C-alpha cells in the first residue's frame, strides 16, 4: 500500500521538483514501501491528546490557503475513532472564514506542533461541519469549559506525516515556565536553609 500522505501531497509539480532537486527516488520508496499512516496509532493518539493547540488549514473558494490557530486545554482535539478527529467550535471573532471555506471545500489540514519536545505532525484530510448531531456535539464538548458549542468540526484523516525536528525552536508554555520558576524558588530556599544551618 502506498503511504497516503505522499500519495496526496506529491502532486505532479511536487514530483517534478523532487526529480530536479534529486530527492524523487527516496520519496518514491517512501510512498511505495511506507505505512499507510491514515489511522490513529497509540503514538499519534498520545501526541494529539497532549496538544493545547493546532493550526487548521482550509482553502478559500478563490484558491487561497487559510490558516487558523485553535487552542484549548490538552485533549480538546478529540479522537472519535481510528480515522476521525473532532473539536468543538465556539463563537469567536465571527468572521466564519474556516467554516465558510469548509461549506464549499472539505479539504483540510491540521498542523500540530510540540515545541518543547521538537515534534510536529501534519495531517491531511476532509473536514465537515456538524451542527445538529447531539451525540457528536457531546463528544467534542469539554464539560469544564462553559462556552456554548456552536458546532463541531469533524476531521477524517486521509494521511499524516511526522516532520523532522530540525529548526524547531524549543519553547515552553506559561504553565511549564511557572512550574520551573516555583521549583527554582523552592530549591533556592532549601539552599539558603542549608547554608544557615
Q: What is the pLDDT of residue 118?
A: 92
Burial bucket for residue 56 (CB in 10 Å: 0-12, 13-18, 19+) = buried
Fold of 37-170: Pnp Oxidase; Chain A (2.30.110)
Domain residue ranges in the chain: 1-35, 37-170
Q: What is 14-50 written as a DSSP string? A: HHHHHHHHT-HHHHHHHHHHS----S--HHHHHHHHH
Q: What is the pLDDT of residue 1?
A: 36
Coil, strand or helix at 170: coil
Cβ(155)–Cβ(84) under 8 Å? Answer: yes
Coil, strand or helix at 121: strand
Q: What is the mean pLDDT of the chain?
A: 92
* H/E segment holding residue 110: strand 107-114
How many C-beta atoms surround the C-beta of residue 111 within 10 A? 15
pLDDT digits (tens, 9 = 90+) for 43-101: 999 999 999 999 999 999 999 999 999 999 999 999 999 999 999 999 888 899 999 99
Q: How confident is the model at residue 15 (pLDDT cuts 50, 70, 90)?
A: very high
* Calpha distance 79→21 (Å, rounded): 38
* Calpha distance 37→42 (Å, rounded): 12
Residue 154: closest CA among 90, 93, 80, 50: 80
Does the pLDDT of residue 179 top 70, yes or no? Answer: yes
Kind of pairing between the strands at 107-114 and 84-90: unpaired
pLDDT digits (tens, 9 = 90+) for 89-120: 998 888 999 999 999 999 999 999 999 899 99
Burial bucket for residue 128 (CB in 10 Å: 0-12, 13-18, 19+) = middle
pLDDT digits (tens, 9 = 90+) for 158-169: 999 998 888 888
- CA torsion, ordered 57, 59, 64, 69, to nearest 10 deg: -20
Q: How confident is the model at residue 150 (pLDDT cuts 50, 70, 90)?
A: very high
- Which cell goes with 56? 487548521
Q: What is the pLDDT of residue 166?
A: 84
pTM above 0.85, yes or no: yes
Amino acid at each position: 500500500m502506498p503511504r497516503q500522505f505522499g500519495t496526496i501531497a506529491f502532486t505532479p509539480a511536487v514530483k517534478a521538483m523532487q526529480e530536479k532537486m534529486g530527492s524523487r527516488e527516496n520519496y518514491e520508496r517512501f510512498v511505495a514501501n511506507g505505512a499507510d499512516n491514515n489511522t490513529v496509532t497509540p503514538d499519534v493518539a498520545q501526541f494529539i491528546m497532549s496538544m493545547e493547540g493546532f493550526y487548521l488549514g482550509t482553502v478559500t473558494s478563490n484558491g487561497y490557503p487559510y490558516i487558523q490557530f485553535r487552542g484549548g486545554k490538552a485533549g480538546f482535539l478529540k479522537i472519535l475513532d481510528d480515522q476521525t478527529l473532532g473539536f468543538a467550535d465556539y463563537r469567536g471573532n465571527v468572521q466564519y472564514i474556516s467554516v465558510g471555506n469548509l461549506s464549499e471545500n472539505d479539504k483540510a489540514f491540521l498542523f500540530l506542533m510540540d515545541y518543547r519536545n521538537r515534534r510536529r505532525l501534519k495531517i491531511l484530510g476532509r473536514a465537515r461541519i456538524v451542527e445538529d448531531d447531539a451525540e457528536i456535539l457531546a463528544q467534542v464538548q469539554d464539560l469544564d469549559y462553559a462556552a456554548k458549542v456552536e458546532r463541531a468540526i469533524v476531521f477524517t484523516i486521509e494521511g499524516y506525516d511526522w516532520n523532522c525536528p530540525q529548526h524547531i525552536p524549543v519553547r515552553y508554555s506559561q504553565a511549564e515556565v511557572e512550574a520551573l520558576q516555583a521549583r527554582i524558588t523552592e530549591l533556592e530556599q532549601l539552599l539558603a536553609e542549608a547554608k544557615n544551618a
